[in-house]
């Protein structure tokens, strides 16, 4: 299966919403943060999506969803790495996420669990964070702690 990743466009919103609804993920803040969303496309159809909300020097990885028929094909991993690379390119110090079903999936990318109340206030104030169930697991990723990236030099 040939899958390409590309930035989401306004005309992708209905397909992204369909993917999110299928995975029972919130739509809150989607349109406001569309500029940092990606779409995985196969045969002209959106088969996956994921986004990054930017709050100052912090990020919120959100809305990672893959079409059920394409699950297990590595699309979610490709989207996650793309979003983390974007976070590094934007100079974000940390990226957070909330998940109700994938807390065992994200450690492979360097995410670690943390108490929800330890998430910075800017992230907690986001519409998505507010929409997520209280039982969702909070996780944090740092480019330097993950060992994947060197921090940018300061001049």
Residue 66: CATH number of its domain: 3.40.630.30
- Give pLDDT, residue 147: 56
Asked whether residue 153 is domain-assigned, the answer is no
Residue-wise pLDDT for 82-96, tens only, equals: 999 999 999 999 999
Angstrom distance (rounded) from CA 53 to CA 50: 10
Total count of domains within the chain: 1
pTM (2 d.p.): 0.90
Asked whether residue 119 is domain-assigned, the answer is yes
Residue-wise pLDDT for 54-64, tens only, equals: 999 999 999 99
Asked whether residue 67 is domain-assigned, the answer is yes
User: Among the residues of 13-144, which ranges form H helices?
Assistant: 13-22, 75-89, 121-124, 127-131
């Amino acid at each position: 299966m040939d899958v390409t990743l590309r930035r989401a466009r306004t005309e992708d919103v209905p397909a992204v919403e369909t993917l999110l609804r299928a995975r029972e993920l919130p739509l809150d803040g989607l349109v406001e943060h569309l500029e940092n969303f990606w779409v995985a496309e196969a045969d002209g159809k959106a088969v996956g999506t994921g986004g990054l909300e930017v709050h100052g020097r912090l990020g919120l990885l959100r809305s990672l969803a893959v079409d059920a028929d394409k699950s297990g094909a590595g699309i979610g991993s490709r989207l996650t790495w793309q979003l983390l690379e974007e976070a590094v390119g934007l100079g974000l110090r940390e990226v957070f996420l909330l998940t109700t079903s994938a807390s065992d999936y994200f450690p492979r990318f360097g995410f670690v669990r943390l108490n929800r109340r330890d998430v910075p206030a800017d992230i907690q104030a986001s519409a998505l964070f507010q929409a997520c169930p209280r039982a969702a697991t909070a996780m944090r990723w740092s480019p330097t702690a993950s060992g994947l990236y060197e921090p940018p030099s300061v001049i």
